[in-house]
Amino acid sequence: MNLQALNLFIDRSDCTHLQKDILKRKLRKMDKKGTLSFEGLPMEWRWRLCNARFYNGDFENWDGWQFRSDWSKSLYLLDLPLWKGEKGKITVLGEQGLGDEIAYASCLPDLIKYVGEDNVTFECQKRLVPVFECAFGIECIPRRNLDVVREGAVAALGDLPRFFRKSLVSFPGVRYLNTDPKRQLYWHSWLRDQGLPPYIGVAWKARQGELPPEELRVDGTLIDLQYGEDPVFTQPPLDPIEDFAEQINLISVLDKVISPPMSVVHAAGALGIPCDVILPPLTKEYFETQDRLDWAFGKTCPWYKSIKIYRSLNDWKTQRA
């Protein structure tokens, strides 16, 4: 699959068609001779190859994923008792953004089943502590510095898929977050006061790019899920930046979510709520600094079965027509 991953890079490169064909032939010959080696590649390229393998649906080899961020790289430079799959006490270290933490947390039920819930402590973003406590019934505490002494082994949350997601079929894709029933009743009542169903949550601006919110209007009562921007649709009485757990309670009673790739999409997917993910035009900054092989929202989204991906706003409009 490394050869297929390299071919994907070549197809997306700025080379001419002739240069691409020549390079692919050379790589095929090296692959047949067994001289196609990746051990000497720098961390950045091993990470990119890992993304390309995932994009192609190959999750058997997670080599390179440990270089996904400066934080994960530093984890391997410290003298920490990293978890290698043994039974016993384990502290899972949350990482990256809200959406990443929600996605990787889908592996926690597998870990809990393997080592027992009393053996798992999860250090996560403070805003998600009540969410994960409700979902998994384990000890959840706010993130701490890496140099804090912990009992037992430690594992980066983003490294758990290496153990529990070795193939596409190993991604269950089903709901794994629970919410507070009392808050669900509150939000059901609040929604009825805003209008008639269906109740649809809408966001339009993400790190990757932005969609025109006026183009996202559909039939139903539209609820504004965007944070950090002036509201365009009906605004719920909460601050998602300060209380993301409460926004998750709201999302759990919606009929649908429409959004570019961002945290509300992960929340909807983890709750099993239908969600249209529309890929926006990439911002110049994101295009230049990020890997364009976004396997999490690439050909498919392995994390969640309730999500449907649209390659563009026009694609979404066409398929809805």
Does 2 have pLDDT greater than 80? no
Q: What are the tens digits of pLDDT across the range 263-287?
A: 999 999 999 999 999 999 876 666 5
- Give the largest CA-CA distance in the chain: 69
Q: What are the tens digits of pLDDT across the range 185-195?
A: 999 999 999 99
- The amino acid sitting at 7 is N
Does 103 have pLDDT greater than 80? yes
Tokens of 171: 């991604």
- CA–CA dist 155, 159 (Å, integer): 7
| DSSP code of residue 103 | H
User: What domains does the chain contain, in order, with CATH numbers?
Assistant: 2-63 (no CATH), 70-170 (no CATH), 181-320 (3.40.50.2000)
Q: Specify the pLDDT at position 28.
A: 72
Q: How many CA atoms lie within 13 A of 270 on its CB side?
A: 30
| DSSP code of residue 281 | P
Instruction: Give pairs for 71-80: CB < 8 Å, separation 24+.
Output: 71/95, 71/96, 72/156, 72/158, 72/159, 73/43, 74/146, 75/146, 75/156, 78/146, 78/147, 80/146, 80/154
Q: Specify the pLDDT at position 204.
A: 97
Cα torsion at 133, 169, 258, 210 (round to 10°)? 100
| DSSP code of residue 272 | T
Q: DSSP string of 198-254?
A: PEEEE--B-SSBB--GGGG--SSEEEE---SS---SBPPSS-TTT-HHHHHHHHTT-
Q: DSSP string of 285-316?
A: HHHHHS-S--GGGSSS-TT-TTEEEESSHHHH
Q: What is the pTM of this model?
A: 0.88
Do residues 75 and 69 touch, judged by C-beta distance below 8 A?
Answer: no
Q: What are the tens digits of pLDDT across the range 153-185?
A: 999 999 999 999 999 999 999 999 999 999 999
